[in-house]
Amino acid sequence: MKSSIRILSFDLVGTLIHPEYVDSFWEEEIPKQLARERGISFEKAREYALAEYQKIGDNDVRWYLPAFWTKKFGLLTSPITILETSANKMCYYPDTLEALAPLHDRYQMIIASGAPIEIIEFVIRPIASYFHRIFSTVSSLGYVKKTEDFYSHICRELGSKCESILHIGDDKILDFELSRRAGFNSYYLDRKCDDPLGYDTIRNLVELRNKLL
């Protein structure tokens, strides 16, 4: 497999960065801004925001779009400004930076994520130079989750054979199984060490680097 790989495709949340940052954007930072602009308590604003999220539900693509919610809540502050207020909470996994630099020297790298493009672009600012393209399920195709067609779309957009791409992600179905069905090579990133360690399972991105370099 190693000799046939030309492109590395990375999931974002849970793979390169801790999920707590994205969770805090929805559950803390938007309610904080809502509380400031409406002059209500954070607790009341958070309760209201979570209830509104629930009304839309995660099967609706709007649920994932920051601009939809700032408009719906009538906020005067942009999603990017809200993201910037919580930038100190953003945290890459230690192995992310250790692995990406040497891999970038040998492979073309992309992001293939279920996060909206605004969040992806903000989160990868410090390492944006490593990545050739960004693909977002919700922003690129309007899909609420990764699908086999999402991966096929990536191949078409890159003009590459699917077997020349290796995808790495922390969801066994959405990242590992579906990308394989589309013809990608893939590794399942099991940071929690829940599954037996097989050839196609890695515990961190340093293991990926060691397999490929």
**Domain formed by 2-18+91-212, architecture:** 3-Layer(aba) Sandwich (3.40)
Q: What is the pTM for the complete model shown?
A: 0.94
- pLDDT of 115: 95
Please report the sign of the dihedral spanned by the C-alpha atoms of residue 144, residue 147, residue 151, residue 157. negative
- pLDDT of 130: 96
Both structure tokens of 114: 């279920």
Average pLDDT, the chain: 94
pLDDT digits (tens, 9 = 90+) for 96-137: 999 999 999 999 999 999 999 999 999 999 999 999 999 999
Query: Does residue 92 sit in helix, strand or coil?
Result: strand
E-strand ranges in the chain read: 7-10, 108-113, 133-136, 165-169, 185-189, 201-202
- pLDDT of 77: 93
Q: Cα(124)–Cα(147) distance, rounded to whole angstroms?
A: 23
- pLDDT of 198: 79
Q: Cα(201)–Cα(191) distance, rounded to whole angstroms?
A: 10
Q: Is the pLDDT of residue 195 over 90?
A: no
As a whole number, mean pLDDT of residues 92-96 equals 94
Both structure tokens of 199: 């050839």
Under a CB-based contact definition with an 8 Å cutoff, are residues 112 and 146 in contact?
Answer: yes
Q: Could you tell me which residues come within 8 angstroms of residue 63 by beta carbon, excluding any fewer than 6 positions away?
A: 53, 56, 57, 144
Q: Cα(42)–Cα(84) distance, rounded to whole angstroms?
A: 19
